[in-house]
Amino acid sequence: MKLEAENLTKAYHQHEVVNIDKVAFGAKGLEGLIGPNGAGKSTLMGLLTRRIAPTSGRIRLDVGSGSRELNPLKSHEVARIGLIKTNQRIQGFDSLTIRDSLRLAVTSPRSEGFMSIFAGERDPEDVEERVSRLIEAFPFTDRNGYARSGGEKKLVDILRCLIAEPRLLLMDEPTAGLPDDITRTVMDIVRQKVADGKMRVVVVEHDLPLIWEYCDYVHFLSEGSILFEGAPEEVKSNRVVAEKYMGV
């Protein structure tokens, strides 16, 4: 599983926000993407999931059996071949309960056709089990109801992506708006799933201690380009990163 971008650029009114010669995500398990504000991290995430159209460049997803060109695909097709992204800003389905939201995410689109109208049972036992197991790991105010606070909505957004188990999950600032202990529980689940080989993950974060603790590999993005890549220890001690980001 590898997501590769080549000569990827995105410009708004001649102002180049992203300009990357070559980058590959998903080769190392749990990877981090860091960089100062305005470095183009979120734009890059949007480009990779086809939510933003690139000005130029190619994006390919290597899925073992061959590689798929992402450029001509629509956003739901990208999700179906195994690339999903959590949202930086709160997104949700207001009319769905927390459980329904997760059931929706775990249900394959193939079983949501017209025939499902006449199916006896809406969700099979194993779906219910997976949903319950995940929900019970977190202290929701009302586990059988709706997400109440912004934090709960943000958490549901992340859990939707986790339970869908994409091949590659992009997490856009998962800690923003979440209490510390919840973030840790989430990251522990993420690490477990990565260790089990269920998925690869890229985390975009400003919370550097979290990056150093959890990630196996870190990409440093500044002014739209990848300036440095390496193991957390290497990135931490790199002079360019220190100058551009940590303000030393």
Partner 1 sequence: MDYLIFSFSLMLVYIGLAQLLHVQFGLLGIPNFGVVGFWGLGLYGTGVLYVSYDVPLVPAIIVASLIVAVVSYVLASMVLQRSGQAILAATLAFAAMVATLVVTEKQLTNGVQGLGTIGFPFGDLASRNVVYFGVLLAVVVALIWVSAKLRDSRMGRMMIAIRDNEELAASLGKDTAGTKRTVFVVTCALMGLLGGLTAPLHQFLVPYHLAPSLTFAVWIALVLGGKSHNLGAMIGVFATFGLFDILIETYAPVPAEQAIMLPNFKLFCYGVLLVMIIMFRPAGMLGEDRPRHRARADAAPANDTAVKEG
Q: Rule CB under 8 A: which residues touch partner 1?
A: 49, 51, 74-76, 79-80, 84-85, 87, 91-97, 99-101, 103-105, 107, 109, 111-114, 116-119, 122-123, 128, 131-132, 136, 139, 141-144, 160-161, 164
With residue 156 as reference, give the H or E element that holds it: helix 150-164
By C-beta, is 92 or 224 nearer to partner 1? 92
AA identity, residue 227: L
As measured in angstroms, the least distance from the Cβ of 27 to partner 1 is 23
CB of 247 to partner 1, least distance (A): 34
Residues 6+ apart with CB under 8 A from 152: 98, 140, 141
Q: How far is the CB of 19 from partner 1 (least distance, A)?
A: 25
- Strand order, beta sheet including 200-204: 83-85, 168-172, 200-204, 30-34, 217-222, 225-230
Pick between residue 7 and residue 116 the one whose CB is nearest to partner 1: 116
Packing angle of the helix pair 180-195, 150-164 (nearest 10 deg): 0
Residue with Cβ nearer partner 1 (130 or 236): 130
Of the two residues 41 and 85, which places its CB atom closer to partner 1 in the complex?
Answer: 85
Q: Minimum CB separation from partner 1 for residue 13, in Å?
A: 24
Please give the radius of gyration of the chain, using alpha carbons only, rounded to the nearest integer: 19
Q: Which of 6, 17, 26, 22 is nearest to 46 (CA)?
A: 17
The smaller minimum CB distance to partner 1, of residues 115 and 248, is found at: 115
Burial of 108 (0-12, 13-18, 19+ CB in 10 A): exposed
- C-beta of 195: minimal distance to partner 1 in Å? 24
